[in-house]
């Protein structure tokens, strides 16, 4: 019975890992794109200043300056749209924790098959309890820092988690379904 708890816990942790990966990739790509647009607009402004006598160049300069100003304000005023690198690094640290957490869970799960191991339900339950105590409030931080997931992204996370366990624990996965 406790092995079912470990199995469910492994699924939850693997889902967290994939959620953090998708989220940080999306946010870092968005941050990069906005930085590239700001840099390109700044370069256009600088170049347009040299050609101020050519028709329409002043309008291009004004438009580029407006884009730079808007994106800079957006970057400062909308942290839920553009997440800070500090928060993304915090998510990276949580990801590292859950990677080792998943390794421990998988090791615990596979130990029950080792005949030399003296693992029983009581030992396994105690170990799982001690392991979960190390988790602290990380799952809450994930919920705070990772937001705006589409239904498609949630479906992808679930499918990839299931594929991982089917590939790694084929016989066990088929028995639990």
pLDDT in tens, 28-83: 898 888 788 878 877 877 777 677 676 776 777 778 778 878 877 777 776 656 67
Of 127 and 98, the one with more pLDDT? 98
CB atoms within 10 A of CB 150: 8
Task: State both tokens at 134.
Answer: 């190390």
pTM for the whole structure: 0.74
What lies within 8 Å, CB to CB, of 15 at 6+ separation is: 157, 158, 161
56 φ/ψ sector (left φ>0, alpha ψ -120 to 50, else beta)? left
Are 38 and 71 a contacting pair, CB within 8 Å? Answer: yes
Please give the pLDDT value at position 115: 61
Nearest to 146 by CA among 87, 96, 78: 87
What does the block give as tokens for 114? Answer: 């080792």
Q: Determine the average pLDDT of the residues in 105-128.
A: 77
pLDDT of amino acid 126: 85
What pLDDT is attached to residue 177? 45
Q: Are 131 and 101 in contact (CB under 8 A)?
A: yes
What residue spans define the domains of the chain? Answer: 2-176
pLDDT at 103: 93
């Amino acid at each position: 019975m406790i092995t079912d708890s470990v199995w469910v816990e492994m699924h939850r942790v693997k889902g967290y890992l994939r959620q953090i990966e998708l989220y940080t990739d999306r946010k870092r790509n968005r941050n990069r794109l906005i930085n590239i647009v700001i840099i390109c607009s700044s370069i256009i402004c600088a170049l347009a200043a040299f050609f101020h006598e050519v028709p329409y160049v002043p309008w291009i300069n004004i438009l580029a300056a407006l884009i730079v100003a808007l994106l800079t304000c957006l970057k400062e005023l909308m942290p839920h749209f553009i997440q800070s690198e500090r928060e993304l690094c915090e998510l990276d640290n949580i990801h590292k924790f859950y990677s080792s957490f998943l390794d421990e869970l998988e090791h615990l799960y596979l130990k029950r098959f080792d005949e030399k191991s003296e693992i029983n339900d009581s030992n396994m339950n105690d170990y799982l309890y001690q392991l979960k105590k190390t988790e602290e409030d990380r799952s809450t931080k994930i919920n705070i820092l990772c937001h705006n997931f589409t239904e498609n992204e949630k479906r992808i996370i679930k499918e990839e988690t299931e594929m991982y366990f089917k590939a790694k624990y084929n016989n066990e996965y088929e028995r639990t379904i």
